[in-house]
Homo-oligomer: A and B are copies of this chain.
Amino acid sequence: MAQSDTVDRILDAAEVLFAERGFSETSLRMITSKAGVNLAAVNYHFGSKNALIHAVFARFLTPFSDTLERAFDDLEQRCNGKPPTLDQTLRALTESAVRMPQRNDRGISIFMRLLGLAYTQSQGHLRKFLEQEYSQPFGRFMRLLKEATPQLTAVDRYWRIQFMLGATAFTMSSSDALRDILQNKLGVATTVQEMVARLVPFLAAGMQATDPMQLAVSKPSVA
């Protein structure tokens, strides 16, 4: 502890506690006592609790965002000119998430859970922060989704993207609990990687469903 590691200790503790309990149910006193630092250190280093939440997200989202951009570059290059398929696009996303360098073996679970919470807990400041900071990779993902589903109307696509986000965010935010239940009920252990591997075909199929409301539209097969 020669040079200050207080900032990292706070981020580590906050990340774990936020993932376990959500944002407003985690107090600064819990965070600082887990981190073994003074209560006032959070406001000293970050300014406020909200700023700490932003810092926790920035620490893992910025490298993720970079990894994702490279994965999209890679994908578009491999497709040279032709739009990537829906399946390829979703895999680029999920594999970037799963392959992220982790600080420890719980890292991927925490990452998933935090991403899920960001969507399901209605923290206005957080949504605003994420939209500002990560609009580029998000917009690029949306563009790829659009090109991969030219058969859908804009309205259909809009709703199905929301359904996808919901399935993903919810599963991510409960992934630990869901894996535990499965372990107890059926005695099957599952890795986060397997869970994500099951999620992708579900999303792809739902995204490309033939809507009974407009049976005339034909469904192209996935590559």
User: Which A positions have Cβ atoms within 8 angstroms of B?
Assistant: 21-22, 24-25, 119-122, 154-156, 158-160, 162-171, 173-174, 178, 182, 185-186, 188, 190, 195, 197-199, 201-213
Interface centre among A120, A121, A158, A178 (most CB of B within 10 A): A120
Q: Roughly how many angstroms separate A204 CA and B178 CA in the complex, as a whole number?
A: 21
Per DSSP, chain A at the interface is: helix
Which residues of B have CB within 8 Å of A159? 178, 182, 195, 198-199, 202
Nearest chain B residue, comparing its CB with the CB of A181? B158
Q: Roughly how many angstroms separate A118 CA and B158 CA in the complex, as a whole number?
A: 25
Asked if B205 and A209 make an inter-chain contact with CB atoms under 8 angstroms apart, the answer reads: yes
Q: Which one of B22, B156, B186, B212 lies within 8 Å of A122 (CB-CB)?
A: B22
Question: How many copies of the chain does the oligomer comprise?
Answer: 2
What are 6 contact pairs spanning A and B, CB under 8 A?
A: A159-B182, A163-B171, A165-B170, A166-B170, A197-B213, A201-B213
Asked if A155 and B170 make an inter-chain contact with CB atoms under 8 angstroms apart, the answer reads: no
Q: Which one of B21, B170, B203 lies within 8 Å of A170 (CB-CB)?
A: B170
Q: Which one of B166, B195, B209 lies within 8 Å of A204 (CB-CB)?
A: B209
Given contacts A167-B163, A178-B162, contact A201 B209 (CB under 8 A): yes
Nearest chain B residue, comparing its CB with the CB of A178? B162
Nearest chain B residue, comparing its CB with the CB of A119? B170
**A153 CB to closest chain B CB, in angstroms?**
10
Q: Roughly how many angstroms separate A201 CA and B160 CA in the complex, as a whole number?
A: 10
Which residues of B have CB within 8 Å of A199? 159, 163
Asked if A163 and B202 make an inter-chain contact with CB atoms under 8 angstroms apart, the answer reads: yes
8 shortest interchain CB distances as A-B pairs = A166-B170, A205-B209, A206-B206, A167-B167, A120-B120, A202-B206, A166-B167, A163-B167
Asked if B182 and A155 make an inter-chain contact with CB atoms under 8 angstroms apart, the answer reads: yes
**A44 CB to closest chain B CB, in angstroms?**
27
Nearest chain B residue, comparing its CB with the CB of A202? B206
**A137 CB to closest chain B CB, in angstroms?**
20
Q: Roughly how many angstroms separate A42 CA and B64 CA in the complex, as a whole number?
A: 47
Asked if B213 and A209 make an inter-chain contact with CB atoms under 8 angstroms apart, the answer reads: no
